[in-house]
Amino acid sequence: QDRWESEFYIANEIGLKYIELIAERNHNPKNPIWDDAGIEKIKNLSMQNSLECYSMCNDYVIDNGILGAEQKNVIKQIHLFTDRAALLNMRLIILPLFEESELNNDNYNDFIPIIKDWAEYVKEKGITICLETILDGKYLSDFIDAVNSPNVKCVFDTGNRIAYGHNIYADIKLLRDKIGHIHIKDKNSNDDNVLLGDGLVNFYKVFRALGEIKYNGLYTFETYRGNNPIKTAMFNMNFCNYCFSER
């Protein structure tokens, strides 16, 4: 937190295109996204380092339930988060619907009007909403169809989805253009986040499936950091580029 500005210079040095910003599970007033001066600093750092302002992820909903007793306050936070993303000209907002805000087969219908309303709220801001859920490919596809908003898609997290037992390669082909963003991650059978290639995900098959659906969006590494996070980041890029070329 005290050295967050340095991340932009590091990202530029190792060839990354953007940094996915985040709101923590518990509100952190020191997070620069909540402060106008912080917003300007992020813009300037991005410009200085040739980075896009591309995506923001709202982890606040993981610990604060959208459907719970605090629903009104949580939705208010989501709208405020959206406004801050718009100030940065972000193209994507990611909503991880896990734990306290888990979207599942039982509460499926309760989420539809909430996501519909939010999609209407962001429409004029030029932002795409990307949902991350535990739903398998069919139910997730049906949910997006039920919301029926062109600016609502899903995040496909390779590690999380394989940890839930989904056939991730078939799901990629099923979801097709409903995939708005990719999180690159690998997990082992104990649900641990591990170095790419050491877990359950076959990245050759991932990139082959993404090639078949002609996915042309961007990728965020949500990966194990290793002993040296910068070297790990460089390994991740080289590994994925190699798997992509060999798909």
Give tens-digit pLDDT for 165-219.
999 999 999 999 999 999 999 999 999 999 999 999 999 999 999 999 999 999 9
| pLDDT on residue 2 | 84
* Residue whose C-alpha is closest to residue 128's, from 150, 151, 149, 145: 151
DSSP assignments along the chain, one per residue = -TTTTHHHHHHHHHT-SB--EEE-SS--TTSGGGSHHHHHHHHHHHHHTT-B--EEEETHHHHS-SSSTTHHHHHHHHHHHHHHHHHTT-SEEEEE--GGG---TTTHHHHHHHHHHHHHHHGGGT-EEEEE-S--HHHHHHHHHHH--TTEEEEEEHHHHHHTT--HHHHHHHHGGGEEEEEE-EE-TT--EE-TTSSS--HHHHHHHHHHTT----EEE-----SSHHHHHHHHHHHHHHHHHT-
* Cβ pair 193, 225 in contact under 8 A: no
* Cβ pair 243, 204 in contact under 8 A: yes
* Residue whose C-alpha is closest to residue 89's, from 52, 132, 44: 52
How far, in Å, CA of 239 to CA of 245, rounded?
A: 10
With vertex at residue 237, the alpha carbon angle to CA 231 and CA 242, rounded to the nearest 5 degrees, is 125
* Residue 16 pLDDT exceeds 90: yes
Cβ-based neighbour number of residue 246 at 10 Å: 10
Reported as a single tens digit per residue, the pLDDT across 20-79 is 999 999 999 999 999 999 999 999 999 999 999 999 999 999 999 999 899 999 999 999
* Cβ pair 131, 154 in contact under 8 A: yes
Q: Environment class of residue 65 by beta-carbon count within 10 Å: exposed (0-12), middle (13-18) or buried (19+)?
A: middle
| pLDDT on residue 135 | 95
| pLDDT on residue 210 | 97
* Residue 232 pLDDT exceeds 90: yes
pTM given for the model: 0.95
